Structure 1
Amino acid sequence: MPSKRTLIVLVAVGLLLLGATPHSVSAAITGNVYNFHAVWFDQTYQVDNAIVLDETVQGTFQIRINNLTPSDSYEYTYTGLNWNYWSLPYYDEYDGSIAFQDNKVYFDLETTDDDEDDLIEDYDLDMYPYFSEHHPGTMFFVNPVWSTHDTDWTSAVDDAEIQLGVTSFTNSANEGHFSFRATMGIEFNHSEYNYMSGTLTIVFNADFDADGVLSTYSLESVTSSSNENHTVIQTENQSFTRGAGAPLDPSVGTTLVLVGVAGVGCLIIGVVIGKKYWR
């Protein structure tokens, strides 16, 4: 039979282990309110030395964690601007839930090089988790036990490194920080300038705190292409930053949105390689 001293030690160790479980970590954020500033879509476009055209869709919102369910899901309220690719941002109040234990950070990169000349004609990059209009809080809360992300992240890296046309790939995944940088040779037919070739660089950075709550997120692509007559540089970016202020009041949200991004969708010029890379 264990001694009293042994029992005390065992209880102390048990409490320490309990404190390290993801359930106890996640429960600590119940009742918290998180403010975010989103740049859902930012695109620049420049031909030769002409003026740089820029289009930005952005807004602020707030997520309140109302409850942690027995099945380890957060019940939350999303208040502020929401967005989808086909519309202007709009004010939204949404109640949802997040199975955060299943939320892992990883990606899926696929390229197409039909003529096998080491210059890709197309690519598709899916990021997980991602922003969804219909479940707007999902991407901001992930499993805070970082070792649980290793399998999916490592598999994604291994697949990316062997994709056709990829000339350079670096990555990092460590204690809530995730990043990669991929460079590819590209070629495509521009709608106005015909055949062009060059490089595509994609850079991803995301940081989560010890509770698995997103702090910063940035995904950017830079396409630099040219032919004998023209050079075209285009960038696309999506970013989220925590702690950037309260959400817009619905009475002023529509006005600010219309002033700030009334021209969204007008900048998409030419045929740009790739698909919606932030999905």
Structure 2
Amino acid sequence: MSIDTLPPLRQVIDTHGLAAKKSLGQNFLLDLNLTAKIARLSGDNTGHDVLEIGPGPGGLTRGLLAEGARCVLAIEKDERCLPALAEIAAAYPERLEVMCGDALDVNPLDHLTPPIRVAANLPYNVGTELLVRWLTPPAWPPFWETLTLMFQREVAQRITAEPGSKAYGRLAILAQWRADARIVLNLPPEAFSPPPKVSSAVVHLTALPAPRYPADAKMLQHVTATAFNQRRKMLRASLKGLSPAIEDHLGAADIKPTDRAEQIDLERFCALARSLKSEN
């Protein structure tokens, strides 16, 4: 079943010669009912502008528009995809803006009107970098209300991981400090063309009005990056370069010097960041 009057995605890909490029991290999702489902998982967008990164042949783009998004800004690096996206823009007049360029260089607020959501099947090679940027803006709250993003399942598990698990690390801290994060959909490799070697998952993040616990953002990032860079070491060893009095700071945060990074929850990492910041 089609979600609009445009051709099926396989036909679009054949017509425009859009073989996925590994160098661009492309894996196209071809089931339009599935892309519409992902669009619905991003929420009711009838009153929202939506930023989409890496639309490719436009499967999710069509899902977002068919499900009622007020406006979609689709940023695509691959010029081969522009004619296919232009056809979608013609089918949904004045609701789709397509930009050819690098999403890392675009300020969405120059093109979209709040409230803004982000929904994307992110290219695997830039997905984590984009997420970290969206989670670490100069000021909070950010330009976005929610992020609904496709990742390799391993990355999705790192975003939503809890203390004590192997997946728990810096990415979980960054995401859960300022947002509610949960996996809302799992997808097997065969859902994509070409099928990747790994499974995928959609993560939905909702921005909190303020961080969950007080902490200096740069200090928290520095502490967690240092701690998880040597995650098998006791924290008194892995963090000794941060302060001559690191054991005192650990104690102030209710952390044992012999604890390891994966044992420490978000609240205590924030307490440690505050203690270290007070030394400066």
Class of the TM-score when normalised by the shorter of the 2 chains = under 0.3
Taking structure 1 as the reference length, what is the TM-score of the superposition? 0.27
Taking structure 2 as the reference length, what is the TM-score of the superposition? 0.27
**Structure with the higher fraction of residues in helix conformation:** 2
